[in-house]
C-alpha cells in the first residue's frame, strides 16, 4: 500500500481538487490507540489497488497533526472519529466510517 502523508492543512485544498479526477481516501490514525492500529493493519492487509482503481490513500497521524483533523471535520462536515476513513469525490465526502466499521470491502463498493 502506497500511503501519501497528510502533514499540512494546505494539502486539503489540493486533495479536494484532486478528488475531481480521482477519488481520495483519508485515513485518520491515532498512534496511541490499539483500535486504530488494528483498523490500519486490517486495511493494509486487505489493500488491493486493482480492486479500488484510482483511489489514492492519504494517511494522517492525528497525534502529530491534530489541527488537520479539525480542518477535515470542518471542510467535509463529518464528526471527528479515530480511527476514521473518508472517501472524497468531486470535492465532497461520499463515505465515512470509523473504528471496526472500517472495511476494505465497503471501500471497493464506494469507488
Per residue in 68-106, pLDDT (tens digit) is 999 999 999 999 999 999 999 999 999 999 999 999 999
Summarised one tens digit per residue, pLDDT across range 27-76 is 999 999 999 999 999 999 999 999 999 999 999 999 999 999 999 999 99
Sign (positive or negative) of CA dihedral 4, 9, 10, 16: positive
Whether the pLDDT of residue 111 is over 90: the answer is no
Rounded average pLDDT over 11-36: 96
Set out the domains of the chain in order of their start, with CATH numbers.
Answer: 4-110 (3.40.30.10)
Helix ranges, 9-103 (H): 11-18, 34-46, 49-52, 66-76
Amino acid at each position: 500500500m502506497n500511503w501519501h502523508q497528510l502533514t499540512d492543512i494546505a494539502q486539503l485544498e489540493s486533495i479536494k481538487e484532486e478528488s475531481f479526477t480521482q477519488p481520495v481516501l483519508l485515513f485518520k490514525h491515532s498512534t496511541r490507540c490499539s483500535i486504530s492500529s488494528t483498523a490500519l493493519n486490517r486495511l493494509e492487509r486487505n489493500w488491493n489497488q486493482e480492486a479500488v482503481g484510482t483511489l489514492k490513500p492519504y494517511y494522517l497521524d492525528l497525534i502529530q497533526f491534530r489541527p488537520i483533523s479539525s480542518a477535515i471535520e470542518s471542510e467535509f462536515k463529518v464528526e471527528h472519529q479515530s480511527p476514521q476513513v473518508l472517501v472524497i469525490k468531486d470535492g465532497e465526502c461520499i463515505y465515512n466510517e470509523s473504528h471496526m466499521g472500517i472495511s476494505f470491502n465497503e471501500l471497493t463498493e464506494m469507488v
